[in-house]
């Protein structure tokens, strides 16, 4: 029995292949009885530019993704815009040939990258971790790719793109629903979708959920802890709910109370931090406590969002919850346990997990390109 969101999508004629990290191309277009090939068929591409890899997907006019899991090409962002955009274009051609899509059948491309960038894809003048080459400062990456490909290109930051995919995987692409997504990775990204549209904000910082302050002092088990975020705030969501939070704050705090824990003998705290999820999944008590703190922090944050947006769903994604079903179920229960009591009308608000793992960004980017095609009648 597939998860409910897949059934919902199938009912809307927007079924998508089950999630996988294998990178296998699904031969949907040639599957007998699935749908007939049409020479007039149009596609949009989704391109997720990450730190080390570019990930691609294609979406057809029926809302069906042609690539299951990851379809990756090495990223060359460190070499600057010219090399990187050329590399993205080369990878697009490779990915298209793997998926059986002609580049001439593409009507638009959606791009997502890590920020900070403006809502239209102008990268920060001050540079960023993922765009260290000096020529990236103030570079319009959306327009640059548009020029390179000769196709309309849309832009979202990576958190907003993953949030859009999470939203559409639940509600379908034709919807007026509202959702708030938190993506737990190295940092805490995410996005807010209201009436089916991504809130990017005036400067592109809409959905920077990681830097929203939460009343962390109410979380049990971290009494006396002062969680500092790299942004300068103390006690925002990212300061407790991210891999960085585990490395900088939570793991040192908990290890100080657990002499002899296996992670105490790990020479490098960053390596130890990456092992916390796996150990938590196996039932290690201290590592479970660390994830409980993260879930409770999310519960407090989601409670704030419920009062701001009265959303149709809360959504969680990212590496932290790419775990077995039991762990995810436990984690979501802990999120709920971290929330103050809700009004009767909001008590049953669903908390869902974004399917598709690392392909979420590319899928969201493709959905944004599909929106442009609809709006412009391309
Ligand atoms: Zn912060």
What's the confidence (pLDDT) of residue 68? Answer: 86
Specify the CATH number for 4-174+358-376; select among 3.40.50.1110, 3.40.47.10, 3.30.420.40, 3.40.50.300: 3.30.420.40
Beta bridge pairs of residue 316: 182, 353
H/E segment holding residue 144: helix 141-149
pLDDT over 80 at 33, yes or no: no
> From its phi and psi, is residue 123 left (phi > 0), alpha (psi between -120 and 50) or beta?
beta
**Segment 291-301 mean pLDDT:** 98
- The Å distance, Cα 126 to ligand 1 centre, comes to 17
- The Å distance, Cα 231 to ligand 1 centre, comes to 4
pLDDT over 70 at 26, yes or no: no
- The Å distance, Cα 164 to ligand 1 centre, comes to 22
- The Å distance, Cα 143 to ligand 1 centre, comes to 29
- The Å distance, Cα 207 to ligand 1 centre, comes to 13
- The Å distance, Cα 227 to ligand 1 centre, comes to 10
What's the confidence (pLDDT) of residue 146? Answer: 98
> How many angstroms separate the CA atoms of 124 and 121, rounded?
9
CA–chain centroid gap for 262, Å, is: 31
- The Å distance, Cα 130 to ligand 1 centre, comes to 18
Tens digits of residue pLDDT in 311-324: 999 999 998 888 89
Q: Looking at residue 140, what DSSP letter applies?
A: B
What's the confidence (pLDDT) of residue 161? Answer: 96
- The Å distance, Cα 321 to ligand 1 centre, comes to 21
**Segment 344-359 mean pLDDT:** 92
Tens digits of residue pLDDT in 57-66: 999 998 899 9
- The Å distance, Cα 211 to ligand 1 centre, comes to 4
- The Å distance, Cα 234 to ligand 1 centre, comes to 7
What's the confidence (pLDDT) of residue 290? Answer: 97
- The Å distance, Cα 65 to ligand 1 centre, comes to 34
Domain boundaries, the chain: 4-174+358-376, 179-311+319-353
- The Å distance, Cα 213 to ligand 1 centre, comes to 8
pLDDT over 80 at 4, yes or no: no
Phi first, then psi: give them for residue 316, nearest 5 degrees: -125, 140
First to last CA, the chain: 37
Three-class secondary structure assignment of 6-63:
HHHHHHCCCCCCCCCCCCCECCHHHCCCCCCCCCCCCEEEEEEECCCEEEEEEEECCC
- The Å distance, Cα 6 to ligand 1 centre, comes to 34
- The Å distance, Cα 230 to ligand 1 centre, comes to 6
Tens digits of residue pLDDT in 130-148: 899 999 999 999 999 999 9
Q: How confident is the model at residue 267 (pLDDT cuts 50, 70, 90)?
A: confident
- The Å distance, Cα 11 to ligand 1 centre, comes to 40
pLDDT over 50 at 7, yes or no: no
Q: Looking at residue 239, what DSSP letter applies?
A: G
Instruction: Decide whether 4-174+358-376 matches 179-311+319-353 in CATH topology.
Output: yes
pLDDT over 60 at 369, yes or no: yes
CATH of domain 179-311+319-353: 3.30.420.40
**Segment 106-129 mean pLDDT:** 92
Tens digits of residue pLDDT in 146-185: 999 999 999 999 999 999 999 999 999 888 999 999 999 9
Does the pTM of the predicted model rise above 0.85? yes
- The Å distance, Cα 242 to ligand 1 centre, comes to 11
- The Å distance, Cα 346 to ligand 1 centre, comes to 28
- The Å distance, Cα 175 to ligand 1 centre, comes to 31
């Amino acid at each position: 029995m597939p998860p409910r969101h897949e059934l919902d999508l199938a009912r809307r004629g927007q079924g998508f292949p089950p999630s996988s990290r294998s990178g296998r191309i699904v031969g949907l277009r040639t599957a007998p009885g699935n749908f007939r090939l049409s020479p007039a068929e149009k596609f949009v591409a989704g391109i997720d530019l990450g730190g080390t890899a570019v990930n691609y997907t294609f979406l057809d006019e029926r809302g069906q993704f042609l690539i299951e899991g990851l379809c990756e090409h090495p990223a060359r962002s460190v070499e600057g815009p010219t090399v990187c955009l050329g590399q993205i274009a080369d990878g697009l051609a490779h990915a298209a040939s793997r998926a059986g899509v002609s580049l001439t059948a593409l009507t638009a491309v959606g791009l997502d990258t890590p920020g900070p960038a403006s809502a239209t894809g102008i990268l920060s003048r001050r540079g960023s971790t993922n765009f260290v080459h000096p020529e990236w400062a103030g570079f319009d990456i959306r327009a640059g790719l548009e020029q390179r490909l000769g196709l309309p290109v849309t832009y979202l930051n990576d958190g907003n793109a993953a949030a859009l995919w999470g939203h559409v995987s639940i509600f379908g692409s034709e919807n007026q629903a509202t959702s708030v997504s938190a993506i737990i990775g190295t940092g805490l990204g995410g996005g807010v979708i209201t009436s089916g549209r991504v809130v990017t904000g005036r400067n592109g910082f809409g959905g920077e959920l990681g830097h929203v302050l939460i009343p962390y002092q109410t979380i049990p088990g971290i009494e006396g802890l002062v969680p500092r975020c790299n942004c300068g705030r103390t006690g925002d969501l990212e300061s407790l709910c991210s891999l960085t939070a585990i490395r900088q704050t939570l793991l040192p705090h908990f290890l100080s109370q657990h002499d002899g824990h296996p992670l105490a003998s790990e020479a490098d705290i960053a390596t130890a931090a990456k092992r916390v999820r796996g150990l938590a999944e196996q039932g290690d008590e201290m590592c479970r406590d660390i994830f409980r703190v993260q879930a409770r922090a999310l519960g407090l944050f989601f409670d704030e969002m419920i009062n701001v947006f009265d959303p149709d769903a809360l959504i969680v994604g990212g590496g932290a919850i790419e775990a077995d079903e039991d762990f995810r179920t436990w984690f979501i229960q802990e999120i709920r346990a971290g929330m103050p009591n809700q009004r009767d009308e909001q008590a049953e608000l669903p908390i869902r997990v974004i399917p598709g793992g690392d392909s979420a960004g590319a899928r969201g980017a493709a959905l944004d390109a599909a929106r442009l095609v609809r709006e412009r009648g391309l």
